[in-house]
Amino acid sequence: MSYLKDKTVIITGSSRGLGKNTAIEFAKQGANVIINYNSNEKEANDVVDKINNNGGNAIAIKANVGNSREINHLFDTTITHFGKVDIIINNAGIMIIKPLKDFSEEEFDQQFNTNVKSVFLMMKIAAEKLEDNGRIINISSSTSKLAMPAYSIYSATKSAVEQMTRIFAKEIGHRGITVNSVLPGPMNTELFLKGKSDELIDKIASLSAFNRIGNVEDIIPLILFLAKDDAQWVTGQNIGINGGMA
């Protein structure tokens, strides 16, 4: 099945983790894929090579998605190369975990700039440059539903993304564009695993109905569905996918 054939998708932060694996799956479904990165050039090029060597169509574009000038470059380069942008997946994000009292102002600003401002700017520019009947899929987190110690600022950034999702969906729906966010639970990715002990990971895993941490393969089918024409009536939704954790 190639239900995304000839669609062009920008996936921010797609040189590794969930973004990387999502890019590979979208390419398998026939989409032209933009691997966006800010600093991981080698990893981004490796993803492009993997996709193209398997018959897909991908290019890598460097852009800091916390900067409107660079986001315009991302869109314009994509349009020059593929002619249009049909789907945006706002995946770029960082996670700083510590008690609120221990956060510096710089860390607060860094997390909001990457996790919230980037989504705001991508959607703002998409309002002009995304094709009619396009798709915007924001990657949030199930931590927004959980009162987990040390996650206060990260959870706040994801709650902000979810509110923007709900409201922007109504603002842009007249063009047939859907806007949704996906809320994964903990996943076996570098972003989640970094700095956590096996004991802590096991404790978090026990919160799910299946007593395990999720994998990227558990999340991607929902993202693919939201990109399909069949999902036209789904918009303004914040959809949890976390093994019953929240």
Measured over all CA atoms, what is the biggest interatomic distance in the chain, rounded to whole angstroms?
51
**pLDDT confidence tier of residue 245, bands split at 50, 70 and 90:** confident
pLDDT in tens, 136-169: 999 999 999 988 899 999 999 999 999 999 999 9
Residue 192 has a pLDDT of: 76
How many other β-carbons are positioned within 10 Å of the β-carbon of residue 194?
9
Is 205 a residue whose pLDDT tops 90?
A: no
Residue with tokens 């915007």, as numbered in its chain: 136
Secondary structure of residue 37 in the 3-state scheme: strand
CB 15 within 8 A of CB 61: no
Q: One-letter amino acid identity for 65? A: V
Residue 85 has a pLDDT of: 98
Residue 84 has a pLDDT of: 98
**pLDDT confidence tier of residue 2, bands split at 50, 70 and 90:** low
Closest to 182 (Cα-Cα) out of 127, 134, 219? 219
Residue with tokens 């990657």, as numbered in its chain: 139
**pLDDT confidence tier of residue 103, bands split at 50, 70 and 90:** very high
Query: In angstroms, rounded to a whole number, what is the distance separating the alpha carbons of residues 54 and 29?
Result: 12
Global model pTM greater than 0.75: yes
Closest to 60 (Cα-Cα) out of 50, 101, 114? 50
The domains found in the chain, sorted by start residue, are: 8-186+215-241 (3.40.50.720)
Is 71 a residue whose pLDDT tops 90?
A: yes
Residue 207 has a pLDDT of: 85
How many other β-carbons are positioned within 10 Å of the β-carbon of residue 114?
22
Residue 3 has a pLDDT of: 79
Q: What mean pLDDT do residues 88-96 have?
A: 95
154 flagged as catalytic: yes
pLDDT in tens, 17-67: 999 999 999 999 999 999 999 999 999 999 999 999 999 999 999 999 999
Pick the catalytic residue: 3, 37, 151, 154?
154
What value, to the nearest 5°, has the Cα angle with vertex 40 and ends 95 and 240?
Answer: 40
**pLDDT confidence tier of residue 193, bands split at 50, 70 and 90:** confident
Closest to 86 (Cα-Cα) out of 126, 131, 128, 119? 131
Query: In angstroms, rounded to a whole number, what is the distance separating the alpha carbons of residues 87 and 7?
Result: 7
